[in-house]
Structure 1
């Protein structure tokens, strides 16, 4: 994959700095800094630069079909669409996330696509055929006894018994029924140690031994793609043997800094019709005052941090600056914003706005935010970093296309 800096250089052969700045919704000075190497061009802008250059991604639109489970607001989907995928089925139970998803993927309301809420009661045989199963499933502990005990009791063992009652069970039963060429599952880094490692052990045994897939796992930190530390475990599986390697990942050598996602107060902040002045006061070139902490909350956070510092703990707020990076954006950000507080000269710090959170997760400014600020913070805190998903899709796609042309070697397991 051409990285964003390479694409930028190609685009500059066709466009002026001003034209590129207008197309990418940044200032002329920002484009100049990217060109000079003062800062790296954000990886999340690579799709936009490719579009400007008229380049096709590694696969054509619709080259493979995928389903989007535990879809949230569609972050994983965006990454796989970039490399030729077409979504044929989506499941998301949260009504607010569904609203955001359908606002940004309106085609999902057409007959060619199925959208369901809770996946648990949905029959696996009714899931459309697909080539890749995608899912950012919640992790839950499994309550299982040893196989020998189950045998002695005359009970089933394997994934049907070991994972029953968990959301991972729904992933397993659909894979078993539909036998896709591949899957990609995403979860928090701590999945490996969850429930003293038992959860991860059951997942791996199910995917490898019970379902017969070749499985590869890796923890990826998004810091080289967007300006936040965000470590997530990625589990990739293929129905047939492959030469897939995580070494094929192209990780940018230096990630962007926070100024690339913060609202610009120098008169260059783009006006987005769908946002209006909800997050940014364009008349006065300033972030809306409601995002600045109240005196009471700021005093509380400082006292809280001082208390834990005195006790030798590391708890406290995270104050960030434009040339720095941030901690992980979490779903609890709506409560007080303490993990990522933007310093303001002469003012109390402020929270990121929902639009800045979207940018921090790699969503471009065309992504619409139709829900309340509280729900938006939860959604982006629970989402994935879309450029990371795009890069994973890039290295998976050639193997998926190859397997698609081969017959399935393993039949579904019988009950």
Structure 2
């Protein structure tokens, strides 16, 4: 059994994936109070608070896990901050610099491996400068062998969700990201048979969303609501889903479409059926929108463990491929 720490833990999606892969969590950190409530309800422990204040509490561990805050790098987050005249990326003092808190722990504890997860836009943010800084810190300053890839969850859950995964090893060992299916389950497979009427959009909201979409369509923009094909997959679930649910709307015969329920959001992200939802709908939508697609992380976790156990050096792997060519 290997040990891991769960940083920027949210509601524990990455933890679930690594526990399924055979690991044991020895420390968790999450500063959002509502997320701490959900985490405690499901894992029986309250995560430590602000990562900047808990470095002395972090124990030795084999693998560091961190879905560090993505808002400074996400397309929506950058656009919003620019419109408000606010800094974004590493210039965002409250969130963008939290990567360096992860780097401090890697430097001090020197775990065998790490997994970092973030939005796809991290690679292109600030014309690639942000990602180059991150890679330079991990590879040249900390000495890790680093792999990265953008994976789409839609082959494992009914949701188009592209996220970048950055995997690193202290040793120069060979690693391959999992090959995920191109097609996955349809969204109808995660829907509840009976849903409270409160999730159906009001006439006022539905009318607003339709006129908003039409206005942008006339301008040639792609903005608008996402009415789901039940035999396909949805758009990406985001933390703003609580506002109007517009990115993922479920069609209903003879009446206005509806939002997903919190339980359906949990399923959309691949959380187990017994995962406890103990907060309000609004908080739950934020939490699942900020979380990960658990089966994708589980697939990455299993490949990481295989790589650590086989411990095939990059040089040896390259030589074997040349011999077989």
TM-score range, shorter chain: 0.7 to 0.9
2:186 matches 1:257: yes
Matches of residues 43-122 of structure 1 in structure 2 within 5 Å?
Answer: 63-106=1-44, 108=45, 115-122=47-54
- 3-state DSSP class of the match of 2:235? coil
CA displacement at 1:195 relative to structure 2: 2.3
Aligned equivalents of 1:126, 1:306: Cα separation in 2: 53
Q: Deviations 1:352-410 (Å, cap 9, x if unpaired)?
A: 0000000000012100100000000000000000000110011000233466xxxxxxx
Residue in structure 2 matched with residue 134 of structure 1 by the alignment: 65
- The reply to whether residue 336 of structure 1 matches residue 244 of structure 2 is yes
* Partners of 1:400 and 1:171 in 2: CA distance: 21
Residue 304 (structure 1) aligned with residue 212 (structure 2): yes
Distance in 1, Cα, partners of 2:307 & 2:113: 9
State the SS of the aligned residue for 1:120.
helix
- For normalisation by structure 2, the TM-score amounts to 0.87
CA deviation map 1:46-89 (0-9, x unaligned): xxxxxxxxxxxxxxxxx000000000000001111011100000
In structure 1, the partner of 2:165 is 234
Deviations 1:174-198 (A, max 9, x none): 0000000000000000001112222
Gaps of 5+ in 1: 1-62, 110-114, 144-163, 265-285, 404-415
CA contact (8 A) 1:64 1:401 kept: no
SS in 2 for 1:328: coil
* Partner Cα separation in structure 2 for residue 241 and residue 370 of structure 1: 43
Alignment check: 8 A CA contact 2:117 2:163 kept: yes
Mark the runs of 5 or more structure 2 residues left unpaired by the alignment. 73-88, 312-325
Kindly indicate whether residue 283 of structure 2 is the aligned counterpart of residue 349 of structure 1: no
Indicate conservation of the 8 Å contact 2:66/2:116, yes or no: yes
> Which stretches of structure 1, 4 residues or more, deviate above 2 A after TM superposition?
139-143, 398-403
Measure the CA separation in 1 of the matches of 2:225 and 2:147: 36
Q: Distance in 1 between matches of 2:263 and 2:250?
A: 14
Shift of 1:311: 1.4
Q: 2:150 aligns with which of 207, 212, 219?
A: 219
| Pair 1:376-2:307 in alignment | no
Following the alignment from structure 1 to structure 2, what is the Cα–Cα distance between the partners of residues 213 and 166?
20
What is the DSSP-based 3-state SS (H/G/I as helix, E as strand, rest coil) of the residue aligned with 1:259? Answer: helix
Matched positions, count:
293
Distance 2:100 2:10 in 1: 18
Corresponding residue for residue 322 of structure 2: none
How much is the aligned-residue C-alpha RMSD, in angstroms? Answer: 1.8
Higher radius of gyration, 1 or 2: 1
Give the distance between the partners of 2:179 and 2:123, measured in 1 at CA. Answer: 24
- What is the CA distance between 1:165 and its match in structure 2? 7.7
SS of the residue 1:183 aligns to? strand
Partner of 1:39: none
CA contact (8 A) 1:142 1:198 kept: no
Give the TM-score, by structure 1 length: 0.68
- Residue pair 2:154, 2:182 contacting (<8 A) in 1 also: no
Partners of 1:376 and 1:353 in 2: CA distance: 9
Q: Does 1:178 align with 2:109?
A: yes
Report if aligned partners of 1:176, 1:211 keep a CA contact under 8 Å in 2. yes
